[in-house]
């Protein structure tokens, strides 16, 4: 009787016993979960238009809206968005710069992007110092707003090239430039008052524009005079007008 032929089968090795996970990353992937955004602007029509642009993108969802800094803090605490889109001038005692500072201190995981009608060259540096990650003007194309949000969510700054260059130049030369006679030493609110004075607004008009009392504006004006070493209000007005003319603001 012929011996039974035994055929040996090659061992099948179990590959990938432990499935390797892709490396984790902090960067935002716009193809996954949509970005949760809170809009902060004191004009309902503007908020409605921005909401429509963002939600039509399919990659961004608006989780809440606010017209003042106090309302914004409450909503952000409640919905915990990824990003807040903030205007510079908003209702209430605080402006957009102050709000960004508060968000950065209280909720550092929430990124901030400024969307404003005010010139980027005027406020971008202050916004970035406060904690914003980008600055865009309201007259830009809708697609640029979406691009700005995704850029900020990836951890990058979103600014005009010329603004970025100015900021870098200032950073490199700051140690050699005296600042005691420039507007850099003014607080954000004092800077607004100074700029409005230079543009011909009265104290009462400034109080209405900034939603603060006349007494508060006068207090800011006194502080500005001290910081800029200007003795009289008339001299401060001349100084402010000259600054507006020379800076084109």
Domain 35-171: which topology? Rossmann fold (3.40.50)
As a whole number, the mean pLDDT across the chain is: 81
Q: Give the pLDDT confidence of 58-91 residue by residue, as tens digits.
A: 999 999 999 999 999 999 999 999 999 999 988 7
The residues near 218 (Cβ < 8 Å, ≥ 6 apart) are 203
Residue 107's pLDDT band (cuts 50, 70, 90)? very high
Q: Give the pLDDT confidence of 115-135 residue by residue, as tens digits.
A: 998 877 778 888 888 899 999
| Residue 136 near residue 114, CB atoms below 8 Å | yes
Residues 62, 33: Cα–Cα separation, whole Å: 13
Global model pTM greater than 0.75: no
| Residue 81 near residue 63, CB atoms below 8 Å | yes
Q: Is the pLDDT of residue 190 over 60?
A: yes
CATH class of 178-247: mainly alpha
Residues 90, 70: Cα–Cα separation, whole Å: 10
Residue 18's pLDDT is: 41
The residues near 136 (Cβ < 8 Å, ≥ 6 apart) are 113, 114, 115, 116, 120, 144, 145, 148, 158
- Listed by start position, the domains of the chain span 35-171, 178-247
Residue 236's pLDDT band (cuts 50, 70, 90)? confident
Q: Give the pLDDT confidence of 20-66 residue by residue, as tens digits.
A: 444 334 455 555 789 999 999 999 999 999 999 999 999 999 999 99
Q: Of all helices (H) and strands (E), which one includes residue 164?
A: helix 161-173
């Amino acid at each position: 009787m012929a011996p039974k032929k035994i055929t040996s089968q090659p061992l099948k090795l179990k590959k990938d016993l432990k499935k390797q996970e892709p490396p984790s990353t902090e960067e935002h992937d716009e193809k996954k979960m949509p970005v949760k955004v809170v809009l902060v602007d004191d004009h309902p029509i503007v908020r409605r238009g921005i909401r429509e642009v963002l939600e039509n993108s399919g990659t961004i969802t608006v989780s809440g809206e606010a017209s003042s800094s106090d309302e914004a803090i409450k909503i952000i605490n409640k919905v915990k968005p990824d990003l807040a889109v903030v205007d510079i001038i908003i209702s209430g005692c605080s402006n957009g710069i102050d709000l960004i500072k508060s968000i950065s201190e209280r909720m550092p995981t929430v990124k901030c992007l400024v969307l404003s009608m005010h010139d980027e060259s005027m406020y971008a540096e202050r916004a970035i110092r406060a904690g914003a990650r980008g600055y865009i003007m309201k007259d830009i194309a809708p697609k640029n707003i979406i691009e700005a949000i995704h850029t900020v969510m990836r951890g990058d700054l979103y600014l005009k090239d010329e603004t970025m260059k100015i900021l870098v130049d200032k950073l490199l030369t700051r140690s050699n430039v005296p600042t005691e006679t420039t507007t850099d030493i003014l607080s954000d609110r004092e800077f607004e008052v100074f700029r409005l004075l230079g543009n011909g607004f009265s104290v009462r008009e400034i109080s209405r524009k900034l939603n603060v009392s006349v007494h508060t504006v006068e207090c800011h004006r006194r502080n500005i005079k001290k910081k800029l070493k200007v003795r009289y209000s008339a001299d401060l007005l001349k100084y402010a007008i000259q600054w507006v003319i020379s800076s084109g603001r």
